[in-house]
Amino acid sequence: MILSLLILLPLLTAIAILPLKGLKQVRVVSLFGAGLQLILAFILLYFYWTERSAGNGAMMLFENNYTWYAPLNINYHVGVDGISIAMILLTSFVVLAGVLVSWNVGKLSKEFFFLLLFMSVGAYGFFISLDLFTLFFFLEIAVIPKFLLIGIWGSGKKEYSAMKLALMLMSGSALVFVGLLGLYFNTNTGNGQHTFDILRIAQMNIPLAVQKFFFPFAFIGFGIFGALFPFHTWVPDGHSSAPTAASMFLAGISMKLGGYGCLRVATFLMPAAAHQYSWIIIVLSSIAILYGAFATMMQTDLKYINAYSSVSHCGFVLLGIGMLTKTAITGAVMQMVSHGLMTALFFAGIGMIYDRTQTRQLSQLGGLLKVMPFISTVFVIAGLCSLGLPGFSGFVAEVTVFMGSWQNADNFYRIATIIACASIVVTSVYILRAVGKAIMGPLQLTDNSSPLLWRGARGEVDAKWNEKWAAALLIIGIVAIGIAPFWLNHLVGTSAETLMKNIGRIVMLK
């Protein structure tokens, strides 16, 4: 029941704000609902740890399985392991922070908060689904509102960016659906029926030829969501035009749907094909890591800097999955959580700067620390996490991926690991350049002829209470992982070990 509440709570909150008339009421109800999501996520974590401590070694906990459409054997089947819990926690943090930074949205505020909350329904449903059709259903729910959020509340080339994002992600969904149907029609439950059930499919010996044919559909389809090279081009345009909360959700959660799907569906259900194609995954991931890093160095717009760096950082996720070791997969999931928190914080800080300066161009920024110390600190912390400074989550996640990748003794895997490690140097260059240019140095003058017209010149320059709470929430998550990573490593690692055992068992059958 607690898993269904994760879906019902944001859905009921979104519905509850529809009849409201006042902006204050919409804000309060949205904040209350988002806060309850975070509380529910921690309650779920507590119950999960309690069950594991009591010796419950089941692969998935808190399962519910109800028939949805019997003729096609479609079920509402949900359950969680440590990987799912980590993704649920990430979602609850980002959603609450997104609601807080959107406090002053004035244009169609009711509709904005409705779409923001409705997106979280899709994310929670996706992360808890153990039925492939149900998983695909929630994936589509998580996609549709993004088009409207960018197209209505975005900036710049918002119509173009919204359409490009929708077309790219819907193309990815189409590929995913082909992969899921391929799995479905090659299963047999013993009574002549096929099944969408993930746990049952994982125990079946899907023929290698079938896996090799349908694995690219599923992996590339989900990979498009996760910025898989060369299908990443929607990321810079989508992020740059999206409103702040939508950018936070896109980079913090939506891109993680791709990584999670590549792991939970493509790799877990077609492990023999994953081994066959692992070298291709590693090559594409290594290209994404380096390409994203070098492309970021060429950017002058703060949102484009974060967007292209996300391509690079999400490459670590796919690299860890492609390495197919327990440590690397653990690192991949930790990187999803770390990047989700870090990039949400980055976009929040960029949004705060833009609201006050009406520009995101580095050439027009400088000396922000003098007039907005809190926002500048947020920007610096996000940057330090991005470049992998010890004490922040980025360091822990990336090192875990590197350690797991190096466990493969083959020179090809180790060369890819060295290339991935080398990207850290490039990351340091563009992060320190952005921080130095925008935050440090002399303050740009703010007269009427200047491109910088401080909206806060009347005493509203630095962060407001809602922005401070949003940033603090994300920083707490980043530091909690960076200073004490053992809890997340244990949460994810145990489930990664169970997943790898099942993958190894199936591969041995081939």
The full DSSP string for 330-380 is HHHHHHHHHHHHHHHHHHHHHHHHHHHHS--BGGG---HHHH-HHHHHHHH
Give residue 177's pLDDT: 94
- Confidence check: pLDDT of 122 > 80: yes
Of 163-167, 367-371, 396-400, highest mean pLDDT: 396-400
Residue 148 confidence (pLDDT) above 80: yes
Query: By the 8 A CB rule, do 86 and 264 touch?
Result: no
Residue 447, helix vs strand vs coil: coil
Using DSSP, state whether 415 is helix, strand or coil: helix
Judge whether residue 85 has pLDDT over 90.
yes
pLDDT of residue 56 exceeding 90, the answer is no
Of 245, 422, 256, 228, nearest to 335 by C-alpha is 256
* Structure-token pair, residue 379: 């920007």
For 260-286, write each residue's pLDDT tens digit: 999 999 999 998 898 889 899 999 999
Distances (CA, A) of 369 to 343, 376, 455, 468, 484: 20, 5, 16, 16, 29
pLDDT for residue 460 = 60
Q: What is the mean pLDDT of the chain?
A: 86
For residue 259, is pLDDT > 60?
A: yes
Looking at the predicted structure, is the pLDDT value of residue 288 above 70? yes
Residue 249 has pLDDT above 90, yes or no: no
With 90 as the cut, is the pLDDT of residue 78 above it?
A: yes
Provide the percentage of residues in the chain whose pLDDT is more than 70: 95
Residue 50: burial class (beta carbons within 10 Å; 0-12, 13-18, 19+):
exposed
Q: Is the pLDDT of residue 458 over 50?
A: no
Report CA dihedral (31, 32, 37, 41) to the nearest 10 degrees: 110
Tell me, what's the pLDDT at 159?
83
Distance in angstroms (rounded) separating the CA atoms of residues 244 and 249: 9
pLDDT score at 506: 55
- Apex CA 135: angle with CA 158 and CA 2, to 5°? 105
The answer on pLDDT for 360 being more than 50 is yes
- Is the pLDDT score of 505 beyond 70? no
Closest by CA to 379, choosing from 391, 397, 365, is 365
- Residue 452 is given by DSSP the state -
Residue 289 has pLDDT above 60, yes or no: yes
CA distances (Å), origin 206, targets 130, 175, 406, 439, 508: 18, 19, 30, 55, 13
Q: Please say if the pLDDT value at position 457 is more than 80.
A: no
Strand bridging mode 74-80 / 61-69: antiparallel
Using CB atoms within 10 Å of the CB of residue 143, give its burial: 0 to 12 exposed, 13 to 18 middle, 19+ buried.
buried
E strands of 51-194, at which residues?
61-69, 74-80
What is 161-194 written as a DSSP string?
Answer: HHHHHHHHHHHHHHHHHHHHHHHHTT---SSS--
> Is the model's pLDDT at 96 over the cut of 90?
yes
Which residues, including other chains, have CB under 8 Å from residue 19's CB and lie 6 or more apart?
Answer: none
Q: pLDDT at residue 379 above 80?
A: yes
Render pLDDT for 417-450 as a digit per residue (tens, 0 to 9).
Answer: 998 888 888 888 888 888 888 888 777 755 444 4
CA distance 29 to 10: 11
Q: What does the pLDDT look like over 151-191, one tens digit per residue? A: 888 777 888 888 888 888 889 999 999 999 999 998 887 77
Domain of residue 372, residue span: 2-509
222-251 average pLDDT score = 85
Q: Which region among 84-98, 254-268, 407-421, 432-446 has the lowest average model confidence (pLDDT)?
A: 432-446
CA distance 65 to 79: 9
pLDDT of residue 462: 79
| 3-state class (DSSP) for residue 229 | coil
pTM for this prediction: 0.91
Total count of domains within the chain: 1
Q: Give me the residue label for tokens 């999931």.
A: 333
- Token duo for residue 21: 């008339």
According to the model, what pLDDT value does residue 100 have?
A: 92
Compute the distance between CA of residue 279 and CA of residue 269 in angstroms, rounded to an integer: 18
- Does residue 336 contact residue 90 with C-beta atoms inside 8 Å? yes
Whether the CB-CB separation of 329 and 263 falls below 8 Å is answered with yes
User: pLDDT exceeding 90 applies to what percent of the chain?
Assistant: 35
- pLDDT computed for residue 449 by the predictor: 42
